[in-house]
Amino acid sequence: MNRRVTVRDVAAEAGVSQATASRVLAGNESVDPALARKVQEATRKLGYTANVMARALRTQHTGTIGVVVPSISNPYFISVVEALEGVLAETQRSLILCDARDSPAIEADRIALLLGRMVDGLIVIPVSATDSAEALRSASGQRPVLQFDRYVASAGTDFIGTDNRDGLRQMIEHVRALGCESFAYVGSRATTSTAVERLEAFRALASTPHLSEHWELLGEYNVDWGLEAGRRLLDSGALPDAIICSADLIAVGVLTVLKDAGVRVPDDVKVVSYDDSMMGRITSPTLTSVRQPVEEMAREAIRLLDGGPGQSSARKCIFTPQLIVRESTGAEPE
């Protein structure tokens, strides 16, 4: 646990000034090739790596962006992180990740942490449409901030998301085409923009004038809620023709309960879901699910972030998702 090796050490070893060493390390300044080589060698010999914090203190940027997700155990969020990581790697940058554990307080804390560590920008999937606003707003006063997937209007930051309404439309048209006329919606409580938009779209689309009844079960974005909701559905007596789940995590729970009760999917009831995460490919049956174009969204997110703060007002960029049909609505096993 030796003292860190600093530019000063490198400079001494190479027999040049600190400034020269720094120039060589930066690469872009004009330095005598001979001296440059000496510095390179010293660097290698001493195993020098720059202290990012000290450098950042000076330059005000770090080549890292901070990412805060509501829950690290949601595979959809993980896929977002991986996509962002890929895009950043193209420009030699990296990301540091924090988990808000579904708590606005922890989220605010992590945002402050990242800001204090001088990330060049922040990408946040907000925990709450209301309680996340303040932290986002105050952060956006210091660094470019972009909301991803979920939108908090009052935060006043740029936003990348998808058309949840259209996603729901695709789900419902698909099962209607299969003959379904009654629907249950199993989603999360309306605490996020995605939850609100999906629920409203469901309400608008699920019932037509002359037919179909529908019902709604609202909880959280996790497997346990899916299990619970599945049980309630079963206890209520009659099942709908189709169960519309607002996330794969939830659908997984629902599917499990259905299976245990001997209900056959898709024969007895169809199940459609949202996210198209890895989970939906390992369940039995596999899940028909709405895929969001995560890679493209990630690329656009970094582009916006790099563009600095929105010129005048916050920019919104909405992508169109696409339904992927699998066994839970009757696709043949691959």
Partner DNA sequence: TTGAAAGCGCTAACAC
Partner DNA sequence: GTGTTAGCGCTTTCAA
Contact positions with DNA (CB under 7 A) in 53-112:
54-55, 57-59
Residue 59 within binding range of a copy of itself, rule CB under 8 A: no
> Quick one: 69 or 196, whose CB is closer to a copy of itself?
69
Binding partner of residue 103 among a copy of itself, DNA, none, CB cut-off 5 to 8 Å per kind: none
Q: What is the DSSP letter of 117?
A: T
Residue 42 within binding range of DNA, rule CB under 7 A: no
* SS3 state of residue 103: coil
Residue with tokens 């330059």: 59
Residue 166 sits at the vertex; the CA angle it makes with 165 and 167, to the nearest 5 degrees, is 90
> Quick one: 32 or 213, whose CB is closer to DNA?
32
Instruction: Kindly report whether the peptide bond that precedes residue 285 is cis, defined as omega within 30 degrees of 0.
Output: yes
> Residue 212: left if φ>0, alpha if ψ -120 to 50, beta else—which one?
left
Give the integer Cα–Cα distance in Å for 278 and 194. 20
216 Cβ neighbours under 8 A, 6+ residues apart: 184, 185, 187, 199, 202, 203
> Quick one: 59 or 154, whose CB is closer to DNA?
59
Binding partner of residue 152 among a copy of itself, DNA, none, CB cut-off 5 to 8 Å per kind: none
Give the integer Cα–Cα distance in Å for 301 and 186. 29
Question: Least CB distance from residue 43 to DNA, whole Å?
Answer: 10
Binding partner of residue 85 among DNA, a copy of itself, none, CB cut-off 5 to 8 Å per kind: a copy of itself
Q: Which stretch binds a copy of itself (CB under 8 A): 14-22, 33-41, 106-114, 177-185?
A: 106-114
Residue 263 within binding range of a copy of itself, rule CB under 8 A: no
> Quick one: 8 or 203, whose CB is closer to DNA?
8
Binding partner of residue 16 among a copy of itself, DNA, none, CB cut-off 5 to 8 Å per kind: DNA
Please name every residue paired with 318 in a beta bridge, in sequence order, or none if there are none. 161
User: Mask 111-140, x = binds a copy of itself (CB under 8 A)?
Assistant: -xx-xxxx-------------------x-x
Residue 17 within binding range of DNA, rule CB under 7 A: yes
How big is the site for a copy of itself, counted in residues (CB under 8 A)? 56
> Quick one: 49 or 312, whose CB is closer to DNA?
49
- Axis-axis angle for helices 223-235, 248-260 (nearest 10): 40
Contact positions with DNA (CB under 7 A) in 227-256:
none
Asked if residue 331 lies in contact with residue 272, where contact means CB atoms within 8 angstroms, the answer is no
Tokens (6 digits) for 170:
């695709």
Give the integer Cα–Cα distance in Å for 287 and 148. 24
253 Cβ neighbours under 8 A, 6+ residues apart: 222, 223, 224, 225, 226, 227, 228, 229, 230
Residues that bind DNA (CB under 7 A): 3-4, 6-8, 16-20, 22-23, 25-26, 29-32, 34-36, 48, 50-51, 54-55, 57-59
Instruction: State the residues that interact with a copy of itself by CB under 8 A.
Output: 1-2, 4, 47, 49-54, 56-57, 64, 72-73, 75, 78-79, 81-82, 85, 94, 96-99, 101, 109-110, 112-113, 115-118, 138, 140-144, 223, 252, 255-256, 259-260, 278-279, 282-284, 308-309, 333-334
